[in-house]
């Protein structure tokens, strides 16, 4: 009977490029920037890596369809490389491939890399000016801001909320993320904002204003993983291990069943239940010390708190306004700035989230260090609320 991957795989090295408008380099340079940090962190040579996965969402506009940009740019030793794509969960999907390979015993050391040159695609989250991209072919009139604005409206209607109260909570989320991002030298947006600025920003898709939307960024992140046994053989003492990795894609329920009212993210709830079971978590609000969730829009972060079981149904606004998710709150969220301020190069985001968990767990997060966290959660949501893929992963310190 399957027992999952809890504590079977350790992360021994991670790296992350600076995120932003990186007109100075291509995807290969971003990959190398993140890889150099991870390799030095792991204390190994590239020839010790036996398998590798590349997460990349956009193809022709970025690095191409295959995984060859990874093996070529890093001069990998003719090892198997695989390119994966799963919408905004692409970076997590690359990590999942590497983790599963090690857990299965197929290799001792594996590499996961996520990268995106999003600025080079011309993508801005609004209708495309060029033809042939993903959003031209699937629901071309359903923009990301428009789709998540509907999530906000449905959530407000279900819980009988005054829209101004919801907007104030969304503004609090954005102010919090900007404050966190300002402490992070690798974040794209490093300017603090006020609640007044967030509330009075230009409207993108009601009720989402400009300060409710994440940025369009370039970046890369990577992880080197091995078995716990191998890590011990290498002399490593403080180990960050994978406690759970779960993925839940839409199956048509949201678009074809009146049981879904548009006010929550069904796949996130499914992935969270599975992840908690795999990791042995029974009380997520008490046991989870920090989170990086898919805040493509501020309302998404708010709704996700309930889908993850951190806030009670209809209670996320109160928790947000009470500071539960602030850096000094009970369950800090987006400590590195999140998608909102760190940036969202699609292929890299899942690994960027894991990078922050890794640094925090090892006490290496500098000015934004949270103290002594022992369990962190990452969450990705790819697509729109009515058809998407959700991933929930848990990372923590290893205890024999």
Catalytic machinery residues:
88, 344
Tell me how far the alpha carbon of residue 48 is from its chain's centroid: 27
Relative to beta strand 218-227, strand 109-117 is antiparallel
How far is the C-alpha of 5 from the C-alpha of 81, rounded, in Å? Answer: 22
Q: What is the DSSP letter of 108?
A: S
Contacts of residue 381, defined as CB under 8 A and 6 or more positions apart, other chains included, come to 88, 89, 265, 267, 268, 294, 296, 300, 304, 388, 389, 390
> How many alpha carbons lie under 13 Å from residue 188 in its C-beta half-sphere?
23
- The SS3 call for residue 172 is helix
Whether residue 171 contacts residue 195, with contact meaning beta carbons closer than 8 Å, is answered with: yes
200 CB neighbour count, 10 Å cutoff: 12
Rounded to 5°, the CA angle 154-157-159 comes to: 110
């Amino acid at each position: 009977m399957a027992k999952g991957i809890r504590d079977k795989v350790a992360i021994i090295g991670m790296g992350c490029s600076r995120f932003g408008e990186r007109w100075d380099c291509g995807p290969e340079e971003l990959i190398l920037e993140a890889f150099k940090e991870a390799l030095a962190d792991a204390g190994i040579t590239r020839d010790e890596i036996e398998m590798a996965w590349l997460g990349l969402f956009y193809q022709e506009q970025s690095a191409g369809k295959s995984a060859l940009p990874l093996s070529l740019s890093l001069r990998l030793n003719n090892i198997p490389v695989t390119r994966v794509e799963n919408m905004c969960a692409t970076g997590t999907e690359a990590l999942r491939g590497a983790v599963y390979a090690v857990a299965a015993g197929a290799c001792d050391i594996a590499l996961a890399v996520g990268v995106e040159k999003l600025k080079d695609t011309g993508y801005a989250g609004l209708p495309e000016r060029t033809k042939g991209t993903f959003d031209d072919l699937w629901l071309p009139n359903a923009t990301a801001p428009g789709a998540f604005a509907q999530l906000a409206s449905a959530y407000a209607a279900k819980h009988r909320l005054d829209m101004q109260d919801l907007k104030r909570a969304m503004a609090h989320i954005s102010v919090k993320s900007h404050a966190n991002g300002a402490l992070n030298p690798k974040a794209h947006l490093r300017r603090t904002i006020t609640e007044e600025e967030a509330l009075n920003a230009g409207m993108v898709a009601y009720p989402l204003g400009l300060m409710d939307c994440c940025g369009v960024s370039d970046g890369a992140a990577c992880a080197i993983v091995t078995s716990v046994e191998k890590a011990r053989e290498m002399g490593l003492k403080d180990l960050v291990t994978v406690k759970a990795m779960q993925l839940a894609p839409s199956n048509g329920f949201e678009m074809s069943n009146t049981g879904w009212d548009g006010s929550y993210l069904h796949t996130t709830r499914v992935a969270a239940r599975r992840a908690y079971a795999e990791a042995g978590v029974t009380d997520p609000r008490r046991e989870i010390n920090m989170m990086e969730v898919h805040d493509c829009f501020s309302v998404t972060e708010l709704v996700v708190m309930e889908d993850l079981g951190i806030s009670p149904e209809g209670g996320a606004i109160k928790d947000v306004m009470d500071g539960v998710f602030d850096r000094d709150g009970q369950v800090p969220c987006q400590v590195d700035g999140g998608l909102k301020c760190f940036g969202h190069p699609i292929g890299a985001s899942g690994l960027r989230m894991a990078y922050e968990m890794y640094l925090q767990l090892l006490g290496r997060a500098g000015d934004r260090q949270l103290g002594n966290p022992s369990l962190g959660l990452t969450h990705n949501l790819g697509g729109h609320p009515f058809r998407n893929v959700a991933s929930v992963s848990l990372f923590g310190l290893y205890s024999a």
